[in-house]
Structures are given as structure tokens and as C-alpha cells.
Chain A
Amino acid sequence: MVMAGRQERVLTRKQRQSRRAYAVILPFFLYIAIWSLLPLVIGLLLGFTDFNALNGLPKWVGLKNFKTFFGSRDYIDLLIRQMWMGGLCLVANVVLSFLLALALNVKHPLRGFFRTSVYIPNIAAAAITSGVFIALLNPFNGGLNMFFKSLGMDPIIWNYSQFWMVFWIIVFFVWRSVGPAAIIWLGGLQSIDASLYEAAKVDGASKVQQVKYITIPGLRFISAYILLTGLIGVMQMFDVVMLISHGNPYGKTDVLMYRIYRDGVISFNMGMAGAASTVLGLVTVLIAFVAFFIISKGDNNE
């Protein structure tokens, strides 16, 4: 009798809990689902339609948009450029932020000031700071070329050169995102147990050996995180391109994500934008999976 009574009370408590949990979670979940899950579903269908969002209903056209995507060099070129330009931004950012984290991992009274300063570019939106770069890069009376002129050098027409536009896109990208990445690296560096280094020193390990056997294995998780999130980020990078180069010269710095934006939001060609989104999304997920697989495989070998 006593046992049964207790069991019943336990049950009702559990039931009460789960009822309350649903009452809290479900409304929020449904609301979030409307704004996030529904677009995901719409997006998968959108690519199979011909749909001008200004007038008329979507018309089912099957694989037509995907055929356009893979049939013309245009979109494939943009996809490849998204990959290599994004890749350059990512590599530059990962390497430089790691070096920066090493430099910040020194005990000094000024360290806090330095750490704050390198982070500050990130707290201003990209749109707010890009104007400075455009003003400096004006080929005729921009700050940089006038400075070169005063040194007796020839001015460089930045806007007409793919190399220089890509270069400045990378500079702007890294300038904005090197701070946060360095902070994450720094957190990883500082989470490595200092006694490991002491023990290595006692055993007579050199600085290089310490880095190889303690620092790098200790940072495996952090580096996986930085690489994966960075990868997903740069595969969708286009605000930087839009602000710094507009895809110029002659579309030679244009990337797929920027084209998707223009197809959809400016020319209202939703079907094509949807198909390209699906392809880019799947490629991103695929690359992230491969990267994850390589990283975790390296983990097992240790």
C-alpha cells in the first residue's frame, strides 16, 4: 500500500514535469519553426519552380533550374570562386589568428589593452567600416595611391585588378575576424595544463618538442571548431565582396552567394536563386562533413 502510494506520487510528479516542459517548449518551438524550419522546407522546393516573386504563382519546372546551374559555366565558376576565395580568407584568418594568439599569450601589463584592440574591428558591422577601405582604394585620389605618389611610385588601379581586389577582400575579412578567432585560440592555449610543460621541461624536451607533443594535441578540439565554423562561414561569405568590390572587375571577384542574393532579392528570380542555394548549401555541408571526417580520423590515430 505504502509502496503503491509512493509510486503513484512519483508518476504524477513526472507527468507534471513533462506537461510543464511541453507547455513551455512547444509554443516557442512552433514559433521558431515558422521562421527557421519552414524556410528550410520552402527552400528545398523553390529550386524546382519557376517563380517571379513580384507577380504570379510558382510554376513547377522540375530540374530546369539545376540544369541551368550545371549547364552553364556561369554558376559553376561562381561556385569555384566562392570556394577558393573563401578558402584563402579562411586560411589567412586561421594562420594569422593563431600567431596572434601566441603573441597575446605573454604575461605583460599591456596584454589586456592589446587583446581589446584587436577585437574592436569585429564590434563594428562590416557596412560601417568598409567605407574607409573604399576611400583609401580610390584609384585617382584615394589615400593609398596619393601616398604611393608622394613616395615617387606609380599608382595602382586597384579596381581593375582581380589580384588586388581579392587581396583587399582578404585584408578586410581578416581584419574583421582575426580578433575573435585569436581569442578562441587563446582560450585553448590557456586551457592546456601548465604542469605538462613543466614536466616536459624536466624531461629535457625542447621548445619545438613541447609544441609538437603538448600544444598541438591539446588544441585539436579548438582547431576543429575554428576550421569547421570558419568553413561554413566563408562558403556563404558575400557581404565583404559586396561592400569592397561589388564583384568587380568584370565579375572576376563575384561569388555564388552574392549571385544568389542578386538573383533573389534584386531580380526576383526565386526559382534560380533557390536552386543555387540548395547546391551551395549541399556543397557546404559536404565539405564540412569531409573536413570533420579528416579531423576526427586524425584524432583516432593518436
Chain B
Amino acid sequence: MNKVLRKTLKIVWVIGMLVLVVFMLYPFIYSFLGALNNKRDFGNMGTLLPIPKKAEFRNFLYAFSKTGIPPLINTFARTTWYTFWNVLVAIMLGYVMARYEFKGKKLFLIFIICSQVVPSVLTMIPSFVMMSKLPFFGGNNWMGMGGHGLINNPLVLYLPFGWGVLLWVFLFMQSMKSLPKDFEEAAEIDGCNFRLTLTKVVLPMQKPILAVIAANTALGTWNDWFTPFMYINRVKDSTLPAYIGMLATSLQEMSGDRDFPKLFGLSCISIIPPLLIFLFFQKYIIQGIASAGIKG
């Protein structure tokens, strides 16, 4: 009797979870099917599953058209750039914080922890002001006047580097603390200098945490549609998710062209890289969230 009950419970569980999975994935299925239509067919369709009469693949190719290519390249470039810097900074600062003794270390640690709970509202608008008044950029003089600074300037996607990285510094530091110092001391005795000790001894043993940092940063940067959306107007200098953001916010306006299939086609392309990152590095991404939760 108990066995029968247990079995039915398990079946109920599986069915319930499958229903949930369908609900969670439904918007993606809808986007994909929607992208197969053309604009007019889709507009008249009004169903929960927009299955096309005749499938078109034109909408997926928008991402590779003359308008779509520059944002696509920008997104790749920006993701690579920030992933590289975040990993590098996390290693350097995290290593120093874990291994070296120096004055002000505790203060810096407090700074790291505090910086992670500062509400972003306190910096959003001031950052915008600062970018527009940055001296010597975008036609500004040394007072920050006369031009538009980094607004609409592609450099705004690469130059800023805030304290978001300090979370990864912290995690790398924690991970260094669980690694005995003996390895490094042995390497030093064998005549390794600082750089060799780091690259040949420490980093190979820290691969998991490096994967956590790289995967999470890559995912976060790719999906950061808001920064380019806020600072850049021209599609050419923007990123793909930000371009989709422009289209998505114009859906609400009467004057917008409301080309849903085009939007869905771009969305389907733009979700492929993060999906691949997630599927391949799932373990590390989940570990990153969980460890931020447990250690933070």
C-alpha cells in the first residue's frame, strides 16, 4: 500500500514538474514559432502557439544583416573584454588579499563587502552625469563642457569598470584561503618568481573558481542590455540585447513599427551564446550563485 502511494506521488511529481517546465519554457517556444512568421501573418494570428502556414527564416537572418552585424560584433567584443578584465582583477586582488599582509587590508575588505550592498539607484543617474561631463572625451574640454562626453560614444561600453568585480575578488580570496600555502612556498624555494608561482602553481589549482568567475561575467555582460540602452542611441554602436531592448520598449508606443517576428528572430539569435555558456558551464554558474549566497 505504502509502495503504491509512493509510486503515485512520484508520478504526480513528475507530471507537475513537466507542467512547470512547459510554463517556464513557453515564452521561448512562442518566440521561436513567432519568428517563423512574417509581420502581417503574425499580426492577424492571435493564438497561443503561432505556428506558421509557411515557415520563413528571414527573421533569424536580421541579426546577420547590415543593421544586425555591428551590434552582434559589439556584444561579443564587450563580453570578451569584461570577462578578461574581471578574471584578471579577481586573480590579482584576490591573491594579494589572501596572501599578503599590509596596512589597510581590513579596511579594504570592509570596502569590498560594503560595495556589494550599495543600492544601484545611488549611482545610476550620477554615473550618467559623470559620463556626459567626462573631461577630454567626446568634444569636452578639461572642465567637461562643450561636448557630450561618453554619451553615444562606443567607448562607454569598454572603459567603465566599477565595483561589481569586487564580488569575484572576494570569492577568489576565499578560494585561495582554502589552498595551503605550502605549494607556493615550495615553488618559491625552487626559484619561481611571483609571476611563475601564480601562473604555474596557483592558477592551475584554482581552475574551478576561475570558471565560476568567467562564466558568470560572460553571462552577465552579454545580458547587460541596460548600459548600452541608456548610453547609446545608435544601433551601430550598441549591443544586440540593447538593440532588442530598443525594439521592445517601442512596442508600447503607437508609432513604433511593432514588428514582432523581427524582434523574436533577433531574440532567438541573441539567446544562443548565453544558452551555450549556461549549458556548458552550468555547474560553475550555479556554484557561483550558491557560493555568493553562502559566503556573502
CB pair A31–B14 under 8 Å, yes or no, is: no
Interface on A for B, CB 8 Å cutoff? 14, 17-18, 20-22, 24-25, 28-29, 31-32, 35-40, 42-43, 46, 51, 53, 57, 100, 103, 106, 108, 110, 113-114, 116-121, 123-136, 138, 141-147, 175, 179-180, 183-184, 187-188, 191, 221-222, 225-226, 228-229, 232, 235-236, 239, 242-243, 246, 248, 257, 260-261, 263-265, 270, 273-274, 277-278, 280-281, 284-285, 288
CB neighbours (8 Å) of B50 from chain A are 143
The one of A25, A39, A183, A288 that contacts B93, using a Cβ cutoff of 8 Å: A25
CB neighbours (8 Å) of A22 from chain B are 102
Residue B225 lies at the interface, judged by CB distance under 8 Å to chain A: yes
A264 to B230 Cα, complex, angstroms: 11
Residue B124 lies at the interface, judged by CB distance under 8 Å to chain A: yes
Interface residues of B in 176-224 (CB under 8 A from A): 194, 219, 222-224
CB neighbours (8 Å) of A108 from chain B are 10, 13-14
Which of chain B's residues has its CB closest to A104's CB? B17
A35-B127, A118-B21, A288-B117 are contacts. A226–B293 as well, Cβ < 8 Å?
yes
CB pair A257–B126 under 8 Å, yes or no, is: no
CB pair B223–A124 under 8 Å, yes or no, is: yes
Which of chain B's residues has its CB closest to A269's CB? B125
CB pair B92–A24 under 8 Å, yes or no, is: yes
What per-residue 1/0 map shows which CB atoms of B14-51 lie under 8 Å from chain A?
A: 10110011001101101100100000000111111010
Tell me the smallest distance from the CB of B63 to a CB of chain A, in Å: 12
Tell me the smallest distance from the CB of A163 to a CB of chain B, in Å: 19
A237 to B291 Cα, complex, angstroms: 24
CB pair B44–A118 under 8 Å, yes or no, is: no
Tell me the smallest distance from the CB of A142 to a CB of chain B, in Å: 6
Which of chain A's residues has its CB closest to B246's CB? A127
Which of chain B's residues has its CB closest to A274's CB? B125
A17-B102, A187-B290 are contacts. A35–B160 as well, Cβ < 8 Å?
yes
CB pair B102–A133 under 8 Å, yes or no, is: no
CB pair A126–B121 under 8 Å, yes or no, is: no
Which of chain A's residues has its CB closest to B116's CB? A229
Which of chain A's residues has its CB closest to B111's CB? A29
CB pair B102–A146 under 8 Å, yes or no, is: no
CB pair B166–A260 under 8 Å, yes or no, is: no
CB pair A235–B248 under 8 Å, yes or no, is: no
Residue B130 lies at the interface, judged by CB distance under 8 Å to chain A: yes
CB pair B124–A261 under 8 Å, yes or no, is: yes
A291 to B22 Cα, complex, angstroms: 36
Q: For the A-B complex with A228-B117, A277-B125 known, give 11 more contacts whose Cβ atoms are closer than 8 Å.
A: A21-B100, A29-B108, A39-B123, A40-B122, A127-B229, A141-B43, A143-B30, A143-B46, A235-B119, A235-B121, A274-B129
CB neighbours (8 Å) of A145 from chain B are 46
CB pair B93–A28 under 8 Å, yes or no, is: yes
A188 to B292 Cα, complex, angstroms: 12
CB neighbours (8 Å) of A25 from chain B are 93, 96-97, 108
A29 to B50 Cα, complex, angstroms: 52
**What's the dominant secondary structure at chain A's contact region?**
helix
Interface on B for A, CB 8 Å cutoff? 10, 13-14, 16-17, 20-21, 24-25, 27-28, 30-31, 34, 43-48, 50, 89, 92-93, 96-97, 100-103, 105, 108, 115, 117-130, 132-133, 145, 160-163, 165-166, 194, 219, 222-226, 229-230, 241-242, 244-245, 247-249, 251-252, 260, 263-264, 267, 270-271, 274-275, 277-279, 282, 286, 289-290, 293-294, 296
The one of A222, A242, A280 that contacts B119, using a Cβ cutoff of 8 Å: A280
Which of chain A's residues has its CB closest to B151's CB? A53
CB pair A119–B31 under 8 Å, yes or no, is: no
Which of chain A's residues has its CB closest to B21's CB? A117
A36-B115, A184-B290 are contacts. A246–B125 as well, Cβ < 8 Å?
no
CB pair A127–B27 under 8 Å, yes or no, is: no
A273 to B230 Cα, complex, angstroms: 15
CB pair B125–A273 under 8 Å, yes or no, is: yes
A-B contact pairs, 11 of them (CB 8 A): A25-B97, A32-B161, A39-B126, A108-B14, A125-B270, A127-B249, A128-B241, A130-B248, A131-B260, A187-B293, A260-B124
- Lowest 9 A-B CB distances belong to which pairs? A127-B245, A18-B102, A146-B46, A43-B126, A39-B126, A281-B122, A187-B290, A264-B125, A36-B162
Tell me the smallest distance from the CB of B238 to a CB of chain A, in Å: 12
The one of A28, A51, A136, A261 that contacts B92, using a Cβ cutoff of 8 Å: A28
The one of A14, A121, A191, A284 that contacts B294, using a Cβ cutoff of 8 Å: A191
Which of chain B's residues has its CB closest to A244's CB? B252
Tell me the smallest distance from the CB of B154 to a CB of chain A, in Å: 17
CB pair A46–B226 under 8 Å, yes or no, is: no
CB neighbours (8 Å) of B130 from chain A are 38-39, 42
The one of B17, B161, B263, B293 that contacts A225, using a Cβ cutoff of 8 Å: B293
A28-B93, A118-B21 are contacts. A147–B48 as well, Cβ < 8 Å?
yes
CB pair B225–A132 under 8 Å, yes or no, is: no
